A and B are shown apart, each in its own frame.
Chain A
């Protein structure tokens, strides 16, 4: 199409609608080009073909429709009041979401795994129902951009809420913490190295066990490890304006070192099992 010429209506109708959600800096979210292209093609397909392709889960197959694309198609069907197509496309999308959740939150990974999965799936279903209503906050725009990241946000936010609720029932207050002894520099260095370098194929299982062990730490130790080793915050600082693990957790540097020492002692077991 020549530059500057208006796009014919019949072509515009078959193109994906632009997203309207904005980043905090004011710029619009946009779909990746591959998603944009897939959506434009999918909009030209007959409903039966769309439904067949929606159930293809192998991403390497040419007929595969990404989750971003499925979200757009569901929203588009909703806008056109095509409830039948909308409802039929929703099912394969939720099936894929459940599969993700069964991998991320398998039974036994935590006491409320099944309830959490239910709640996440349910909230996602409700988000889709709200789309286009007066209460719609355009959240599905995120899912058209990077579905996995957006769905992860929903999952982790609910997990965060559940941890917060559990924390008050289980954990001792911080001023009751005992001195865990001096922080072992060697253990800290080992842990730092393990967490900062990409895993080789041989190390993959070890790192998986390490990440699961970190996840299973008591909340205070888990926070200290994540803030220091994964986010890169210093334990404490002489600069009062600087955010550190200690200031974020609202405790002294000594308390943080105690927590890290206890965490390192627990995680040392994983290192000892490393082949």
Chain B
């Protein structure tokens, strides 16, 4: 497999699909071939290959899925997925400045919501460490604060505390805000929740006078 100029343009996710759909045996030789060809993706490719190998091992010793005829009932999770489908369709139909800004996570395979794995106690500890209330931190988690208004110093401090990159946090804040449970049938076009500015969020999240002053001075 010789490298071509087109290889330089292949997104990571495409390479992972190609690797996963390979008809050859998934072993060290195949992984080496892909890593050699797509050096810039060596780490995520290797990580993915490890996940794939363990998943296949599991599949080899688990019974096939039992067939349960569907009751046609749409679960909340499916309903949310359908909402995201329509939200994205709606976004695509709007005139926008930059088409690439719309494809946030699909092709770059960045981490999902960096707050998702925090349990309740960790979330509260993080809020204390940041000098904010859990209410304020929830607004950040749920992308209810206008990303352009969040001070860079705040983002850097937060990135440091949750061991992620500034870019990952910026991407998270810039994605569509969480709209909570939403079932398929809707009389309105799906809309993102209204965002507030950083300073408005500071003023309306139950922070003390000192906490507000510290944040607004960033």
A residues neighboring B (CB under 8 Å) = 23-26, 29, 55-60, 90-92, 94-95, 97-100, 103-104, 111-112, 114-119, 121-130, 133-135, 137, 139, 142, 145-146, 149-150, 152-153, 156-166, 168-169, 195, 198-199, 203-205, 207-208, 211-212, 214-215, 222-223, 226-227, 230-233, 243, 248
Contacts and interface: CB of A to CB of B under 8 A. Distances in A.
A103 B68 CA distance: 13
B67 A57 contact: yes
B65 A118 contact: no
A150 B17 contact: yes
7 contacts: A59-B67, A115-B112, A122-B80, A199-B61, A211-B57, A223-B50, A231-B49
Contacts, number: 221
B21 A142 contact: yes
Interface string B151-184: 0000000000011100010000000000000001
Nearest to A142: B17
The 10 closest A-B pairs by CB, nearest first: A125-B85, A207-B61, A129-B88, A168-B163, A121-B81, A230-B53, A165-B111, A125-B81, A122-B84, A156-B51
Interface residues of B, number: 78
A35 B37 CA distance: 31
A80 to B, nearest CB: 16
Interface in B88-110: 88-89, 92, 99-100, 102-103, 105-107, 109-110
A57 B68 CA distance: 7
B164 A165 contact: yes
B37 A146 contact: no
A198 B60 contact: yes
Contact of A164 (B47, B70, B89, B113): B47
Contacts of B75: 95, 98
B48 A156 contact: yes
Contacts of B14: 137, 139
User: Which has the most chain A C-beta neighbours within 10 Å: B57, B62, B110?
Assistant: B57
B50 to A, nearest CB: 4
A160 B117 contact: no
B1 interface: yes
Given A121-B77, A163-B47, A168-B163, A149 B84 contact: no
